[in-house]
Amino acid sequence: ETGVTQTPRHLVMGMTNKKSLKCEQHLGHNAMYWYKQSAKKPLELMFVYNFKEQTENNSVPSRFSPECPNSSHLFLHLHTLQPEDSALYLCASSLGTSGGAITDTQYFGPGTRLTVL
């Protein structure tokens, strides 16, 4: 156990559905991340929150909407997804600093396996 939990572990949704992925960390960290991992592609960083402020949005389509209500919770709201969005969505957290340095270790959750029909 890494101290980072994700729910649900598996999700199947239609292209017109709206769903949310949840991530929770019990490590006292201040930075949280969403990654997308597709088959045969490298891990792609999607969003970064540092001290509850979104610091990065790596050109992610608007059908993905992150939310970070506090330092321990991170959500990824999904709507009108496409089949090519099917992937493993990973959440991670790290200590985080006010200066935004990212050399600290990231702790990953087990991921949510998303299938879009």
Partner 1 sequence: LAKTTQPISMDSYEGQEVNITCSHNNIATNDYITWYQQFPSQGPRFIIQGYKTKVTNEVASLFIPADRKSSTLSLPRVSLSDTAVYYCLVVLSGGYNKLIFGAGTRLAVHP
Beta carbon of residue 14, minimum distance to partner 1 (angstroms, whole number)? 24
Nearer to partner 1, 16 or 105 (CB): 105
Q: Which is nearer to partner 1, 109 or 116 (CB)?
A: 109
Q: How far apart are CA 67 and CA 22, in angstroms?
A: 10
Q: How far apart are CA 88 and CA 83, in angstroms?
A: 13
Q: Which is nearer to partner 1, 14 or 100 (CB)?
A: 100
Angle at 11 between CA 6 and CA 13, to 5 degrees: 140
**In the complex, minimum distance from the CB of residue 51 to partner 1, in angstroms, rounded to a whole number:** 11
Bridge partner list, 92: 33, 108
Q: How far is the CB of 41 from partner 1 (least distance, A)?
A: 8
Of 34, 50, 48, whose CA–CA distance to 85 is shortest?
A: 34
Min CB(46)–partner 1 separation in Å = 11
Secondary structure in 3-state letters for 76-87? EEEECCCHHHCE
Please identify, using beta-carbon distances, which residue of 13 and 110 lies nearer to partner 1: 110
Backbone angles phi, psi at 5, to 5 degrees: -115, 150
Residues that bind partner 1 (CB under 8 A): 2, 4, 31, 33, 41-45, 48, 50, 55-56, 58, 90-92, 99-103, 105-111
